[in-house]
Chains A and B, each alone.
Chain A
């Protein structure tokens, strides 16, 4: 029956649209792959350049393949050449960044979880104003707080130290972590908390027994967001620290800018990869959570 109803012209039309469709698909993939190569290009260039010798770099082009897997520039970027003064390399600064990131992520996440919990499950008069008050911290351009922050760190005796940077990153992370946890806990049924309260469970017991066990996804989102933000920070690092206390992004920038000797692009690229690899690994392993943080964190900031 169906076949009989189809006129020949209809079939022709269908045939034709099939070809246009195929053409469109090819076009689609072509554009998508074109853009993919634009996005992948700098990463590719970084990796191949880091594996070349300076001689190869001068003779080849950006795209040319290295002659072999030559990790020498990586070793130089990470551990230096072994002579004394003027030999800058990333290893100590990498550890600086770790020492800065771990406590700052921990404190800001913990505080954010607590405030998010109170703002949704222990609501009080004016709590939405308090939320707005905290939220505004996501938006301020940090230039407006740099000067007083520098003076405060000096007064506290922690300028140019990891401790100072931990404080800065913890404080300016709170608006974001609060936002994350608040938005997550809002969707947890309040009845759960009410029932526990009737059973006599207190403030902390409810948090640790009821909310914390179901918070794994938002903790992952928050930790990844904070880790990426703090690891990649340059403004605070470069303003509040220098010399030996500097985090890795500052050290990378100094290394690349230092014009003491001949530019070694292979070492520069290896350094950039080393400074970028931790966040890149997190992104590849936990992309889903990274994107969730990005779309909800950056939507507001």
Chain B
């Protein structure tokens, strides 16, 4: 008995973690998947109902708007974060004075919650007392900046705040990537007469392909899950113009008693994340095995 215990001690120590994750991650996802095939309203029902919830979901105007918003947000969020991140990383890589201070400034938003930064941005973007007023007082009398309360433009305020929060993070990833390149490569290129621009454009950036990939995956992941920022900044409004899937899901589940529908929307999010993550994990594992 004691021998058995000693031999299996490692597995016994592993058991709680495996059990908890098995139950709370895999079990729960399967439960949600099952419920998405039922006609559950306020309380879960367990008779199968087929794909009804998914049909309802894709017929819902609100869901279509959230998917549309998600696509717009993700595209802009990706482009701006990666472009700003790369520019900052390359510029910081030029033996800059006070690099540490600048890096700290670029990255500090990552330490704050979206609720905190959303509250700040909401105040800054406030049409009466925020940026608009600042420009008017500076002499631009007809300056208007009402994106926060403008149906067409409100989604872009979320982009502004999101990029502000996450661009520094992409900078950190690329800076780490650039620093891991051996000096010899750059030196050899310079001896061959390549200018700084050529060195980056032709040699270093193409070497950063894994970093591009990683940033892409993380940013898409962040954007699919984005919830806090929208709650803090617009609550999905004006109207439902800035609603996104994560917000749709919680509202359906906890405010509108549409448990089945919310489960279906959660599964759509799950599949979207899986579509990005599984290839990523696969390539990461292959890289690790190749080493």
> Could you list which residues of chain A lie within 8 angstroms of chain B, going by C-beta atoms?
28-29, 31-32, 35-36, 38-43, 45-46, 49, 57-58, 61-63, 111-112, 114-115, 117-119, 122, 124, 130, 132-137, 139-152, 171-172, 174-175, 178, 202-203, 228, 231-235, 238-239, 249, 252-253, 256-257, 265, 268-269, 271-273, 275-276, 279-280, 282-284, 287, 290-291, 294-295, 298-299, 301
Interface flags, B240-283, vs A, CB<8A=1, else 0: 00000110011001100001001101110110011001000100
Closest 4 CB pairs of A and B: A232-B113, A122-B10, A283-B111, A145-B28
Contacting A at CB under 8 A, from B160-186, are 164, 168-169, 172-173, 176
> Which residue of chain A has the shortest Cβ distance to B136 in the bound complex?
A61
Q: Which residues of A contact B173 (CB under 8 A)?
A: 295, 299
- CB of B115 closer than 8 Å to a CB of A: yes
Known: A252-B115, A272-B119. A144 touches B21 (CB 8 A): no
A42 touches B224 (CB 8 A): no
Shortest Cβ gap from A79 to chain B (Å):
19
> Which of B29-37, B59-67, B198-206 lies at the interface?
B29-37
Q: Once the chains are docked, how many angstroms separate the CA of A146 from the CA of B251?
A: 12
Q: Once the chains are docked, how many angstroms separate the CA of A151 from the CA of B24?
A: 12
Prevailing SS type, chain B contact patch: helix
Interface flags, B1-27, vs A, CB<8A=1, else 0: 000001001110110111011101101
> Which of B50-58, B86-94, B151-159 lies at the interface?
B86-94
B9 touches A203 (CB 8 A): yes
Shortest Cβ gap from B253 to chain A (Å):
6
Q: Which residues of A contact B69 (CB under 8 A)?
A: none
Interface flags, B125-169, vs A, CB<8A=1, else 0: 010011101100110000000000000000000000000100011
A133 touches B21 (CB 8 A): yes
Known: A61-B137, A148-B31. A295 touches B115 (CB 8 A): no
B164 touches A42 (CB 8 A): yes
Q: Which residues of A contact B92 (CB under 8 A)?
A: 32
A178 touches B17 (CB 8 A): yes
- CB of B107 closer than 8 Å to a CB of A: yes
